[in-house]
Structure 1
Amino acid sequence: MIADPLKIFVTVAELKNFSRAAEELYLSQPSVSLQIRNLENELGSKLINRSPKHLELTQAGEILYGIAKQILLLYDKAKLEINQLTNTVTGSLKVGASYTIGEYILPYALTEFVAQFPNVDIEASIANTVEITNAVRSNHLDLGLVEGEVNHSDLDVQALMEDEIILVVPNQHVLAGLPVVTAEDLQDRVWILRESGSGTRDFSDKLIKDWNIDVKKTHIFGSSQAVKQAVIAGLGIALVSSWIVHKELKTKELTAIRIKDKRLVRSFSIIRPKNSEMSMAMNIFTENLLSHDLISSLIDNNSSV
Structure 2
Amino acid sequence: MISKLDLYKVFCIVAESGSFSKAAKALYMTQPAVSQAIMQLERELDTRLFNRTPKGVSLTNEGKLLFEYVHSAIHLIDVGEEKILEFKNLTIGELKIGVGDTISRYFLLPYLEAFHNRYPNIKFKIVNGTTSELCSILKSGEVDIAICNFPIDDPAFEKLPCLDVQDIFVCGEKYKHTLPQPLAFQQLAKLPLIFLEPRSNSRKYVEDFILSKGLKISPEFELGSHDLLLEFARINLGIACVTKEFSLDYLNKGAVHEIQLLEEIPKRSIGICFLKSVPLSTAATKFVETIQLRDQGAGR
- After alignment, is 234-243 or 281-290 more displaced? 234-243
Deviation at 1:258, TM superposition (A): 2.4
Separation of aligned partners in 2, 1:283 and 1:201: 30
Pick from 135, 138, 141: which aligns with 2:140? Answer: 138
1:222-233 superposed matches below 5 A: 222-233=224-235
Deviation at 1:90, TM superposition (A): 2.3
Partner amino acid, structure 1, of 2:122? V
Separation of aligned partners in 1, 2:208 and 2:123: 39
Matched with 1:211 is: 213
Deviation at 1:81, TM superposition (A): 5.2
Matched with 1:273 is: 275
Work out whether 1:83 is the aligned partner of 2:100. no
Matched with 1:24 is: none
CA contact (8 A) 2:90 2:282 kept: no
Separation of aligned partners in 2, 1:97 and 1:280: 19
Work out whether 1:184 is the aligned partner of 2:183. no
Percent identity, aligned pairs only?
19
Matched with 1:291 is: 293
Deviations 1:174-214 (A, max 9, x none): 67654422223213111111112212211231133122335
- After alignment, is 137-146 or 211-220 more displaced? 211-220
Separation of aligned partners in 1, 2:189 and 2:110: 39
Matched with 2:166 is: 164
CA contact (8 A) 2:195 2:219 kept: no
Deviations 1:123-151 (A, max 9, x none): 11222111111111111111000012111
Structure 2: runs of 5 or more not aligned: 1-79
Deviations 1:238-261 (A, max 9, x none): 221113210111111111022224
Cα separation, partners in 2 of 1:181 and 1:295, compared to 1, 3 Å: farther
Separation of aligned partners in 1, 2:178 and 2:266: 19
Matched with 2:239 is: 237
Partner amino acid, structure 2, of 1:192? I
Deviations 1:16-73 (A, max 9, x none): xxxxxxxxxxxxxxxxxxxxxxxxxxxxxxxxxxxxxxxxxxxxxxxxxxxxxxxxxx
Cα separation, partners in 2 of 1:217 and 1:136, compared to 1, 3 Å: closer
- After alignment, is 175-184 or 273-282 more displaced? 175-184
Work out whether 1:103 is the aligned partner of 2:105. yes
Separation of aligned partners in 2, 1:264 and 1:164: 7
Matched with 1:148 is: 150
TM-score, normalised on structure 2?
Answer: 0.67
Separation of aligned partners in 1, 2:204 and 2:82: 40
Separation of aligned partners in 2, 1:295 and 1:261: 32
Matched with 2:53 is: none
C-alpha RMSD of the superposition = 2.5
1:40-119 superposed matches below 5 A: 82-83=85-86, 87-119=89-121
Separation of aligned partners in 1, 2:81 and 2:227: 43
CA contact (8 A) 2:232 2:238 kept: yes
Pick from 249, 252, 273: which aligns with 1:250? Answer: 252
- After alignment, is 267-276 or 177-186 more displaced? 177-186
Matched with 2:43 is: none
Structure 1: runs of 5 or more not aligned: 1-76, 300-305
Partner amino acid, structure 1, of 2:85? I
CA contact (8 A) 1:100 1:241 kept: no
CA contact (8 A) 2:176 2:257 kept: no
Q: Which has the higher strand share?
A: 1
Matched with 1:15 is: none
Larger radius of gyration: 2
Separation of aligned partners in 2, 1:175 and 1:295: 41
Cα separation, partners in 2 of 1:125 and 1:235, compared to 1, 3 Å: same
Separation of aligned partners in 2, 1:294 and 1:98: 23
CA contact (8 A) 1:189 1:215 kept: no
